[in-house]
Amino acid sequence: MECRGESKMLKVGNTNLTLTEFLALPEEKPPLEYRDGQVSAKPMPKGKHSTLQTALSFAINMALKKEKIAWAFTELRCSFENRSIVPDIAVFTWENIPCDQDGEIADNFYLPPNWMIEILSPEQSQKK
């Protein structure tokens, strides 16, 4: 770890952190993602990216949410297996949306999305 001002910033790359330890860290902007011990920073979206993300998630929700088929969430952290990722759009079928004890949508999603959409920015790799 290294310090920047008053907050601690996690170094990107190989870490000795477990997924549980990674999830205990405070959220950062841009969000960090965890894959098999590798930590990477997600690029901050820009205007065209955000416009497409908003329009696409809106269209998915217009088609699927009213009938309780699926729900599209933007920038939702999904933690599962040995990953914690923040896809641009994560779509969950209705029966897979986790709820808390009050029947509301849970804050934490510990399962993979049924459909994950990543809008590639020029600086992002197609390999992830």
Sort strands 2-4 and 70-74 into parallel, antiparallel or unpaired: unpaired
So what's the pLDDT on residue 121? 72
pLDDT of res. 8? 44
Which residues, given as ranges, of the chain have pLDDT below 50?
1-8
The predicted pLDDT at position 46 comes to 87
Diameter over CA atoms, the chain: 48
* Domains of the chain (ranges, CATH numbers): 2-117 (3.90.1570.10)
Reported as a single tens digit per residue, the pLDDT across 18-47 is 999 999 999 988 899 999 999 999 888 889
**8 A C-beta contact, residue 86 and residue 61:** no
Place of tokens 């955000």: 50
Reported pTM: 0.82
pLDDT at position 43: 83
* 85: exposed, middle or buried (Cβ count in 10 Å: 0-12, 13-18, 19+): buried
Taking a C-beta distance cutoff of 8 angstroms, is the pair 33, 39 a contact?
A: yes
